[in-house]
């Protein structure tokens, strides 16, 4: 029963992320509208990910952790996704496979001004800064 509850919670979390994406605005669009200089976007490498990241903005309270042995933990409150991850540097996508339910979660990933942003299927972007 506990696995079914966690599976349902993960599906609901995924749907919430997707549903709120329609209301999200990208930083690039805001930059174009305001005329401010664009933020420096860099190609994210595996080495960039290592460590623990703390959520900011709408993601306050969330954490992302990446180990050198290829494990990831994405948590926010009582919900967590944990398991192996892979990074496609050419496509700038991150895929995490939750070991408990065997489901893959794939995110577009960007890094601007030392902030890591992940976004699933055009959903709500989630932004993090690395813990020091």
Query: Residue 29: its pLDDT value, please?
Result: 37
Only one residue has tokens 């902030």, namely 115
CATH number of 2-130: 2.40.128.370, 1.10.10.10, 3.50.50.60, 2.30.30.100? 2.40.128.370
In whole angstroms, what is the distance from residue 102 CA to residue 115 CA?
Answer: 29
Query: Residue 58: its pLDDT value, please?
Result: 84
3-state secondary structure of 24: coil
Q: Where along the chain do its domains lie?
A: 2-130
Query: Residue 104: its pLDDT value, please?
Result: 96
**What is the mean pLDDT for each group of 10 consecutive residues in the chain (132 residues)?**
52 40 36 50 92 93 95 94 97 96 95 94 93 84
E strand or H helix at 74: strand 71-76
């Amino acid at each position: 029963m506990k696995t079914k509850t966690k599976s349902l919670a993960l599906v609901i979390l995924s749907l919430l992320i997707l549903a709120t994406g329609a209301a999200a605005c990208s930083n690039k669009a805001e930059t174009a509208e305001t005329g401010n200089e664009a933020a420096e976007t860099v190609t994210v490498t595996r080495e960039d990910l290592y460590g623990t990241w703390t959520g900011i903005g709408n993601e306050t309270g969330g954490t992302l952790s990446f180990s050198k042995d290829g494990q990831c933990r994405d948590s926010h409150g009582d919900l967590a996704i944990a398991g192996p991850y892979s990074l496609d540097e050419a496509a700038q996508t991150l895929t995490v496979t939750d070991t408990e339910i065997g489901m893959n979660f794939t995110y577009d990933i960007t890094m601007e001004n030392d902030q890591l942003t992940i976004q699933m299927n055009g959903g709500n972007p989630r932004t993090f800064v690395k813990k020091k």
